[in-house]
Amino acid sequence: MRLDKFLADMNQGTRKELKQLIRKGLVTVDGVTVKDPGTAVTKTSDIVLAGIPVVYNEYEYYMMNKPRGVITATEDARQETVLDLMAGEHRKDISPVGRLDKDTVGLLLITNDGQLNHQLLSPKHHVDKEYLARVSGKVTENDVKAFARGLFIEEGFRALPAQLKIQAYREIPAEADFRDLAMSNAPGQDLPDGVTEITVVIQEGKYHQIKKMFHAIGKEVIYLQRIRMGSLELDPNLQEGQYRKLTDEEIRLLKQSRE
């Protein structure tokens, strides 16, 4: 690839800025100063910009704890996106793996590894996506069995079997439950039948799927957080809106989970 593209991919500046730096003799390739921005280099070339080595990373992997109110997109003219939350020191071609609704929080993988992206999302690879949710009403063992069978949730679509687990039930909702309700897209109500905390594991990701699954059994999701995708678990140290690079071990295990 061209030298200026190599440096631009590694977020060392714009192509215009980098061409100027190269022509000023501030870049060496394998120990030799070069002034032609079009100099051919490889991913393994020894490149130094203004005395600082620049290593080429073909793929980048980030974990974000997505907050409410932010859309899962690379760019949008009107709304804040998850990439708007990230500082500039990352590849320009990264994008979210899958989609979390605007009012959904939690684990979001962001990468430019297109093959991993596809295989983590494809139902035929059976990659688990685990969510924590708070739901209006009392979730019962009959609901658990219905999820395990696979729910018919809309015309032409039956959800694959899902693992639903009941964690807790509150007959009298807490103040936090009403705050969740106010910030959710659930139909307006006053939670007369209490609130159930659940976890659910699915292996597909249709639009609003978990919300539609609970709607099909007469309940509404007032809070939804993704906590796991395959082997990758949400880092409890990440506050909403924060992100970090994946470790080498997390990347290795995540790639294994798609196989």
SS3 content of the chain, % helix, strand, coil (to 5): 25, 30, 45
**Which is it for strands 32-33 and 27-29: parallel, antiparallel or unpaired?**
antiparallel
State the pLDDT at residue 257: 63
- For the chain, percent of residues with pLDDT exceeding 70: 99
- 119 pLDDT more than 90: no
State the pLDDT at residue 207: 84
- 194 pLDDT more than 60: yes
CB 197 within 8 A of CB 167: yes
Q: How many residues does the chain have?
A: 259
Question: DSSP string covering 201-236, please?
Answer: EES---TTHHHHHHHHTT--EEEEEEEEETTEE--T
CB 61 within 8 A of CB 245: yes
**Exposure b/e, 85-106, CB count within 10 A at least 16 = b:** eeeeebeeebebbeebbebbbb
Summarize pLDDT for 7-37 with one digit per residue, the tens: 988 888 889 999 999 999 999 999 999 999 9
- How far CA 123 is from CA of 34, 139, 159, 211, in Å, comes to 49, 26, 11, 18
Catalogue the active-site residues. 101
CA nearest to 224, candidates 153, 135, 141: 135
Residue 103 structure tokens: 């009012």
- End-to-end Cα, the chain, rounded Å: 31
Q: At what angle do helices 248-257 and 114-121 cross, to 10 degrees?
A: 50
Matching residue, tokens 């309940």: 219
State the pLDDT at residue 258: 52
State the pLDDT at residue 73: 93
